Structure 1
Amino acid sequence: MTRPSPPLHFPVHIPFVQQLGFELHSLGHGEAEIRVDLQEGHLNSWEVAHGGVLMTLLDVAMAHAARSIHRDQPGMGPGVVTVEMKTSFMRPGEGELRCHAKLLHRSTTMAFCEGSVFGGDGKLCAHATGTFKYLKALPTQGRRLNQLTPTPPEPAA
């Protein structure tokens, strides 16, 4: 029996994603895979994955797929922001959710991606398409530019 490989480190610090317990399992060549083992805090009143968890999983995986083509650049190149996203839900998400996303097309400033979430039984739960804009910095309140925050290095064991 082969053991699953340990999760990778996210290239940037995303507190919300960390709070949700998402794990990055693959990143490169226009693709990304992110997983989450559902906990009580992820559930809706039906005791299955809340739609917001599925949409966030899709959004984060597609954004990482868009950025993965710049993996060899310092800081993984420009960041991305979601411009548009369309999600379809097929069945309830239960167990460990696995989201696979891929970059379908890109231009200098835009990325067009798709992602699929599979439940613990391997069946498709949700699918999305999304449009992302590549940015080097994000103008915020007072027109201040916020830079991407890299993930701090892991402490030595």
Structure 2
Amino acid sequence: MTQRGFTVPFIEHLGIEFVEYGAGQSHLRMLPRPEHMNAYGMAHGGVVMTLLDVTMAFAALEPQTPEVGAITVEMKTAFLRPATGALTGRGQVLHRTRTLVFLEASVFNEQGQVCAKASGTFVLKQRPSAAT
């Protein structure tokens, strides 16, 4: 995210990697570590929801406007199967207005199976110049 001019320590802590984003799409990945697991040996639901949230936020953004950020307004998540191994997030814009973006995202396991899906609404806002 440093290419956008800011950092989010929580995203860095989770080890979320940005493969690509732009044109209403995003592709992210992460390899959950032991501290990200629940008692059943799968990625904690909060970790999966964060990957979905960040995946949708980056689908809302465009590389050529790093001063604009996307803030979650609402999000609905469905967990379909355990999230194990390396995880991939893919997001896409469904509809965009001047200030709001409606999106969906999915998280896939190493076998390409959908583990969780989310839909969300994000507001686009100018990022404060003091944000780091």
TM-score when normalising by structure 1: 0.78
1:21 equivalent to 2:15? Answer yes
Which structure has the bigger radius of gyration? Answer: 1
1:51 to 2:42 alignment: no
- 1:112 aligns with 102
Contact residue 9 and residue 24 of structure 1 kept, 8 A: no
CA RMSD, Structure 1 to Structure 2 (Å): 1.7
Q: Is the 8 A contact 2:14 2:32 kept in 1?
A: no
1:5-154 to 2 correspondence within 5 Å? 11=4, 12-68=6-62, 71-73=63-65, 76-137=66-127, 147-149=130-132
2-structure distance, mates of 1:9, 1:25: 14
Where relative contact order (Cα < 8 A, 6+ residues apart) is larger, the structure is 2
Aligned length: 131
Partner letter of residue 125 of structure 2?
A: L
SS of residue paired to 1:56: helix
Unpaired runs of 5+ residues, structure 2, are: none
Distance 1:147 1:79 in 2: 13
The Cα of 1:122 is off from its aligned counterpart by 1.1
Post-superposition shift, 1:147? 4.5
| 1:54-111 residue CA offsets vs partner (Å, 9 max, x unmatched) | 100000010000012xx223xx241111000000000000010000001111101100
Percent sequence identity is 41
Counterpart amino acid of 2:75? M
Q: C-alpha distance in 1, partners of 2:82/2:23?
A: 30
For residues 3 and 44 of structure 2, what CA distance do their matches in structure 1 show? 23
Aligned partners of 1:79 and 1:148 also within 8 Å: no
Higher strand share: 2
What SS does structure 2 have at the residue aligned with 1:44? coil
